[in-house]
Structure 1
């Protein structure tokens, strides 16, 4: 049996599945899950990269011992994170967390050298401080010796692929979300590197999603039992991987991927770059088969997770199901938060206080129960989605056809219903592991079992069901959105 292994790393945990394609459907054989716990020391925040790699090896070993030789492996991760290699191929320093404080205030300094609009025109991307570009600029600004010593830079899925194969390359879609590529997504934006004094010697060859990176090194092949499996440069950017596998997804459809963040958008054939796209904060990145994904991203369950962890420290250990039940019982929420507010996106264990301060600052009603906080966040997510959807339609000059809610947030039926209510249109929700499935389907494409995107999405429709949510609300969400826009809270 020719089975493949998909590895997806998210900000809070990792997931691995092994599966095979029977000519019609995806058949999942087994899974492996693990936590992703950042490490804080000497006032810096890092990803535990070797801990994550150790878990990947454990997952490969589980599958190898159970099923033997694997045909291929693919890795996708969140964007932004990277590692430097020295001339001997050794990791130079720990991998920084994208919310590490070293980038606080760095965007302002970067835009003093090259204006934000020029960055967008050059790259099709609009940075948050967590993105790769401002992180690299921070190393230049601080004159960090690691940048001087670095021979190559690998973004996270390519770094982990290097650990498995010893091969060095940069997959196009993960580079596209870094703000380091030209808007065309064809090559690195060397104009940007020159203006910000970032050395181009660290850059590697760019390869397409769906190409082979190499094979697993001998020691790992023997240790895990997967033998000399190919490592595929799958769609390395997790959001783009999720888009690959949406059942029957087509032109002028809207995807809403919900997890730690929301990534929402649509596929186009060329970058969308003009003043209107810029003013609404939209970004362009790459997808499978050189598609361009026009998207907007913002915080979602990051804020819920911060509250959940804070409450746990106070003795209230809620499950997600508990939180949803609390929110369902709240009937009259009239308060909303901006999911892009800088304070709400900063690390720390005082999210409830940050929300309280935000509501005072924006002259909104206070929240008086845990359920009210969660309901406020859910409704704020739904309202932000409507705001972005309306502006995206206006900017492109279309009306979206079908709307798909995918990834972990698709399990949240309350949120799915709120999205349908706020958009006032039916929503299809499902594929809680859309990123993993898109990763896997890209491998099946690379291995010759599927011939193109239409073939991939048809196979997905044969393998996975979506649930429909029909609008059913007495609230005037259009009026609520107008008020939120006037108060600048979306």
Structure 2
């Protein structure tokens, strides 16, 4: 009988629990629980509501037992954020959200002592203020006692695994988002940690995808009348899990993981830490099977999500995502563009007003209607994807024939089509639940249900979980692409 994995897939705005197993040469995925991930403000900081998330996890475990049980558990989340465990084994405070303002000025403070180029060369990670390194620098400057009271620092998936098992481990792909991993030695960068004054004892031993954190605590197993099943480390950074589910047989492929953040990249055998890579805003995150995921973080569906939220809250419009997509289709193309990566759009609230102001200050026609706002977002994202593809191709020397679009954003057919149109090559969209599926694949390999990642990707290809979008009228995009390049690359 096929073994079943209880998968927890945490996104920045929602989470889901799924039961996944191999069935009839493909994957059977059953969603048993979905719940919101809503941050709270406590102690003057924006925080993850870890208590509520843990309660929802326990509800999901109960649902999993009720739906036939499971043989293992694995967890993936976003990167960079962490919790601090005290000497009594309890969490010292709720983890702070990466969008909290506490890291304002921290990047500049660190880089005044350690050049950004050195940080990139050592870690392969693009210096960004949200990175764990800069969050820890804030604590060293403003709440040093908190760090020295901590026994262990656990990244978010490791923290959930700790609640399940009581074991402190740091999964490698997630750890790379801290900017504190030595990309050459593939271990904690002790020299950098000591240079920043951070107590090195708080960093837990590293484990790789497919290794165990431990077993489900006996008291939890007793509570839910199940066995103390193993809790495995998947590729627990959600991007790394999603890349495992890219449906390709090519060694060199381009992927576009569509979520709140959109990640455009490729999979390499080793980090690429050249000066050009840094200037292009590329980062090297840990992947499964000792690979490196070279990618660019792009402010993706966040722009669409926040635009919808503003219209529905400020104007009580009641728009669905489908409504906004339909409005965009009706509007004239190529009128105005924004830079999705501009800091103007990083904070929540008033997104349509921010888009209008960006167009105004860059001397472009100002979009007025919801449809015009959405058309501006869609075509700006498509142009960004096309230029990023060209830049990565030039840097790696590989000619990518297809863009593999994965994740929930692939439900947006207009975004998929415009991506193919702008890039001039087909876009293959799906699977939509790539992160949860990649999470499960890692653990199913560890359980012996699948031989390796190549077999898993072939199974996805055969499963019919993808849809292909052929480029249409690519020549009409050439002038807008140059206009967008002048706006975003030549400033």
TM-score w.r.t. length of structure 1:
0.96
Q: Greater CA deviation, 151-160 or 103-112?
A: 103-112
**Partner of 2:329 in structure 1?**
328
**Partner of 1:268 in structure 2?**
268
1:210-256 Cα deviation digits (max 9, x unpaired): 11111111222132344312100011010110110122343221010
Distance across 1 between alignment mates of 2:33 and 2:430? 20
SS in 2 for 1:409: helix
Q: Is the 8 A contact 2:270 2:291 kept in 1?
A: yes
Distance across 2 between alignment mates of 1:55 and 1:482? 48
Q: CA, structure 1 residues 226+377, in 2 after alignment: closer, same or farther (shift >3 Å)?
A: farther
Q: Greater CA deviation, 222-231 or 314-323?
A: 222-231
Distance across 2 between alignment mates of 1:370 and 1:29? 36
Distance across 1 between alignment mates of 2:336 and 2:318? 25
Query: Aligned-pair distance for 1:460?
Result: 2.3
May I ask how many residue pairs the two structures share in their alignment?
A: 488
Distance across 1 between alignment mates of 2:185 and 2:436? 23
Q: Is the 8 A contact 1:93 1:146 kept in 2?
A: no
Query: Which ranges of structure 1 fall in alignment gaps of 5 or more residues?
Result: none
**Partner of 1:26 in structure 2?**
27
**Partner of 2:74 in structure 1?**
74
**Partner of 1:200 in structure 2?**
200
Distance across 2 between alignment mates of 1:191 and 1:387? 37
**Partner of 1:467 in structure 2?**
467
1:120-155 Cα deviation digits (max 9, x unpaired): 000000122112111111111224321121111000
Distance across 1 between alignment mates of 2:321 and 2:437? 23
**Partner of 2:219 in structure 1?**
219
**Partner of 2:11 in structure 1?**
10
**Partner of 2:237 in structure 1?**
237
Query: Aligned-pair distance for 1:97?
Result: 0.5
Query: Aligned-pair distance for 1:23?
Result: 6.8
1:355-412 Cα deviation digits (max 9, x unpaired): 1221122111101101111111111111111111111111111211332000011111
Q: Is the 8 A contact 2:20 2:27 kept in 1?
A: yes
Is 1:58 matched up with 2:59?
A: yes
4+ residue segments displaced more than 4 Å: none
**Partner of 1:161 in structure 2?**
161
**Partner of 1:94 in structure 2?**
94
Q: Is the 8 A contact 1:421 1:470 kept in 2?
A: yes
Q: CA, structure 1 residues 63+185, in 2 after alignment: closer, same or farther (shift >3 Å)?
A: farther
Distance across 2 between alignment mates of 1:341 and 1:80? 20
1:294-326 Cα deviation digits (max 9, x unpaired): 111111111222222221212112111111111
Q: How does 1:32-431 map to 2 (within 5 A)?
A: 32-68=33-69, 70-184=70-184, 186-313=186-313, 314-347=315-348, 349-431=349-431
SS in 2 for 1:400: coil
Query: Aligned-pair distance for 1:422?
Result: 0.2
Q: Greater CA deviation, 431-440 or 462-471?
A: 462-471
Q: CA, structure 1 residues 315+475, in 2 after alignment: closer, same or farther (shift >3 Å)?
A: farther
Query: Aligned-pair distance for 1:22?
Result: 3.5
1:157-215 Cα deviation digits (max 9, x unpaired): 00000000101100000011221111236101122212222221111100010111111
Q: Over aligned residues, Cα RMSD in angstroms? A: 1.6
Query: Aligned-pair distance for 1:478?
Result: 2.8
Query: Aligned-pair distance for 1:54?
Result: 1.0
Q: Is the 8 A contact 2:422 2:474 kept in 1?
A: no
SS in 1 for 2:221: helix
Q: Is the 8 A contact 1:61 1:226 kept in 2?
A: no
Q: Is the 8 A contact 1:338 1:489 kept in 2?
A: no
Q: Is the 8 A contact 1:61 1:223 kept in 2?
A: no
Distance across 1 between alignment mates of 2:242 and 2:152? 28
1:263-312 Cα deviation digits (max 9, x unpaired): 11111111111111111111111111111111111111112222222212
Query: Aligned-pair distance for 1:488?
Result: 2.7
